[in-house]
Chain A
Amino acid sequence: MKLVAEKRELSSRLFRISAPVISIFVALFVAGFLLLAAGVNPLQAYLEIFQESLGSIYGLSETLVKTTPLIFASLGVSLAFRMQIWNIGAEGQIYMGACGATAVALFSGIESHLLMITAMFLTAFLVGGLWAGVAGALRAVWRVNEVIVTLLMNYIAILGVDYLIYGPWKDPKGFNFPLTAQFSDAARLTEYFDTRLHSGFFLALFCALVLYLFMERTVWGYEIKVIGSNPKAARYAGMRTGLAIFAVLFLSGAIAGIAGFSEVAGLQHRLQHGISPGYGYTAIIIAWLAKRSALGVVIVSFLMGVLLVGGDSLQLSWQLPVAFAYAFQGLILFFLLASEFFIHNRVRLIRGERHA
């Protein structure tokens, strides 16, 4: 007896839509056992996740605050995915973007709010872009695998930022904590409704719209889609694939870099250790789940935001470790991947041997 998986004809639309939904419920179900093991009533916990993240103005605003960097980073990652380029380095690009924006905020001495914010934005964009562009250039010229390069450069970026905030950029009045001085008011994004929700969120939505138009309506988006679908055909049609690889990785990193800008200018108002608790990695999951759509990125980022905020509250009220939130994310991804497999394959049990 053995199990075999066979490719199948595209399954029914109903199944394709219901499979991911079912898989999220299965993930909730399995995570329930983890909660039980930790001595927590799962139903109560799930109820709390939703209440805390969506049930009040404050909760909702916190969710949107977490959603903001996720949208930026995932847009960046998914742009590269469209061309079959795997940018695993959004995390590092966030740090570099934050670092660039901070440099402007601390040292430029610009006083006008608008000018300051614009300069910070552009610097973050450029620095994040160049950081990823290194991988792009290596890939375009010498065919160095971009997965490895972007991944390894994360460590350099994170440690580099640590060096700055433990060393030269450390706030002299900061009681020796690893953080820079606070930004001046000119370098802070507007906040709304007495919450931490800042204009970075709306910038993220706008960015999603721009990226959608870029992919679906412009000649460059067309080019990216052709290269992603068949690089050989693209080269044959006279498209410069090397240049496109560099450009797309640059843009991908630049958008992730904006996440760093939005975090320091909108939320933390300084550069400090651990400004991103892994948004760049979560972004890979989000980009994958959202398939190819910018709208999908926004929706999935929001769902992840709910999980993050809900997870935080579980930590507080039941003293669950942070690891639980990650385990939960992992389970969801696992079951969604599984559902993808079942959509494309049929699994059967075969008795006995077919061939003598």
Chain B
Amino acid sequence: MAFLEIANLRKTFGPLSVVQNFELAVERGEFVSFLGPSGCGKTTTLRMVAGFEGPSSGTIRINGQDVTRLRPNQRNVGMVFQSYALFPNMTVAENVGFGLKVAKRPAAEIGPRVEEMLRLIKLPTLGGRYPYQLSGGQQQRVALARALAIKPQVLLLDEPLSALDAKIRVSLREEIRAVQRSLGITTVYVTHDQEEALSMSDRIVVMSEGRIEQIGTPFEIYNFPRTRFVASFVGTLNILRGRVADAAQGRIAVDDQEIVAARGIADGQAGQIRSVALRPEAVSLADAGGERNRMRGTIEEVNFLGSVVRIRVRFKENAISLDTFNNPSVAPPQRGQPVTVSFAREDLLVLEGAEAG
């Protein structure tokens, strides 16, 4: 049985349904991210796990125990907030030791534990400082130490890095991951930054409008998005809309040019409107020959980005972006120039769900 089990979770605020049919099983020691755009219900879900919001229905189990109705202070769950939320009236050491003090642990235990935590976050000498004397990154590390000091069963982080600048964000996310690995603590991490989710997580839960769109490893999510939403939210996938010609053979017509998806079109019917996805790095301007998909279009835009040249090719309704490496001896193509692009049949992903024409 999974360590953290969320079953059929639902949350409504009045008439507004914010989280629906949320099902997730997190293994012990796993690092799972909730990824999705603003307002999709990530924070609300996390807050239900922490106990700050009561679910409208559904259950949450931690290590086999049903905690759905427990108060936050009885759940033994560590929480890290976007705004750090350190207690301004306490020193760093007092902040880190707060949970132990509340639990009435003896001072002989609190002192060493606080020191251990401060070493873990690489701030062993700053125990006597007050939060306002620390940088944002340091404050967030202290908040992490404070949450971990009580040896929580589950660690929850709600966009802990969004208030920090880009450089610190990258180094701190590596640090958080390293600490998480070394303690082997089950972790749920909320973010709307796909790079953060892809680089840190064991698994990613992609959410949209209160629903789970897809759960998978970063590799799966990036390479095999199942829905149009995931495809467009994660990475810079090209999305093409076409009319199914033959589902079993995977034939689909995009702007009157027929292409083939090697995997076929799952539960498709001829005449349906479906979306297909294509990674920019799979598309080539040259025709490599063989059994490939080919599409004719005109060059709409050429962006010179340095080592990479990003080219957009327009068909009729649809367009494709593709990246080519800069080559000093070959001038980039001109706008308006007709071209043929090609891509392997295996690289064409058919997304779930028929759409209205």
Do A and B bind?
no
- B contacts, CB < 8 Å to A: none
- A contacts, CB < 8 Å to B: none
